[in-house]
């Protein structure tokens, strides 16, 4: 548990796992239940971090080497924590983030097969021992998720409509999926793995159930 009165919930998953839809529905449900909650995202979530987001996501898939890229993610994350996440949690507001540090652990650590210990060191430098209260992994086979992304971008395609990570090969995305499942196995109290190949309403119902049971959220 973090030391603030608000709770910090993060959503993770591979490409096309349906995070954005589920987060929007969850925020509506939280507001209807009278909970104070905000939605945010990474990379981004504060003015400075959104600027860094554009540097990271647009352009050639080999634009940055792994270490430079990791540093950019952590620079954005520090700004996001200081300007958005911590002030909200301190004020007792629930914060729901579309991706957070588990994404770096998995995309850079498992997907790009980078230095996992180095990633932990950088994270401790910017955040101390702060972690999410609960992290949902929306789990879906990589082929199915990437198929959804392709279908979504087909009609309106420009080179920027698929980001640098979606351009990575299938093996990368399979390592990402296994990475999330591995983190979840090692930290069962902090993670909840949800089968995201089910229909939208069933996935949402499962998310609300976990939030009620684990964090006492007053959701129906």
The site for ligand TYD (CB under 6 A) is made up of 15, 20, 42-43, 57, 73, 98-99, 103-104, 107-108, 163, 165-166
Q: How far is the CB of 93 from ligand TYD (least distance, A)?
A: 21
- Please check whether residue 46 is in contact with residue 88, taking contact to mean a CB–CB distance below 8 angstroms: no
Q: Which residue has the tokens 């006492």?
A: 216
Question: CA 72, CA 49: separation in Å to the nearest integer?
Answer: 9
| Angle, CA of 169, 171 and 17, to the nearest 5° | 80
Measure the CA–CA gap between 136 and 98, rounded to whole angstroms: 10
Q: Is 79 or 166 the residue whose CB approaches ligand TYD more closely?
A: 166
Shortest distance, position 11 Cβ to ligand TYD, whole Å: 9
Closer Cβ to ligand TYD, 112 or 219, answer by number: 112
Residue with tokens 């159930």: 209
Q: Which is nearer to ligand TYD, 20 or 68 (CB)?
A: 20
The helix or strand, by DSSP H or E, that contains position 194, with its residue range, turns out to be strand 191-195
Q: How far is the CB of 159 from ligand TYD (least distance, A)?
A: 14
Q: Shortest distance, CB of residue 33 to ligand TYD, whole angstroms?
A: 25
Nearer to ligand TYD, 9 or 219 (CB): 9
Length of the chain: 220
């Amino acid at each position: 548990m973090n030391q603030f009165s608000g709770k910090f919930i993060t959503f993770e998953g591979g490409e096309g796992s349906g995070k954005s839809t589920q987060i929007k529905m969850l925020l509506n449900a939280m507001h209807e239940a009278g909970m104070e909650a905000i939605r945010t995202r990474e990379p981004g979530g504060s003015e400075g971090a959104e600027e860094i987001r554009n540097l990271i996501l647009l352009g050639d898939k080999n634009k940055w080497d792994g270490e430079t890229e990791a540093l950019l993610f952590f620079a954005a994350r520090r700004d996001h924590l200081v300007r958005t996440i911590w002030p909200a949690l301190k004020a007792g507001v629930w914060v729901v983030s579309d991706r957070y540090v588990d994404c770096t652990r998995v995309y850079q650590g498992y997907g790009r097969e980078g230095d996992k210990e180095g990633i932990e060191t950088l994270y401790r430098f910017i955040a101390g021992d702060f972690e999410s209260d609960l992290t949902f992994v929306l789990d879906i086979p990589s082929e199915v998720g990437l198929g959804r992304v392709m279908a979504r971008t087909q009609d309106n395609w420009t080179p920027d409509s698929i980001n640098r990570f979606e351009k990575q090969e299938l093996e990368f995305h399979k390592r990402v999926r296994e990475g999330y499942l591995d983190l979840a196995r090692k930290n069962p109290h902090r993670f909840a793995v949800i089968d995201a190949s089910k229909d939208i309403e069933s996935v949402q119902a499962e998310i609300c159930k976990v939030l009620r049971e684990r964090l006492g959220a007053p959701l129906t």
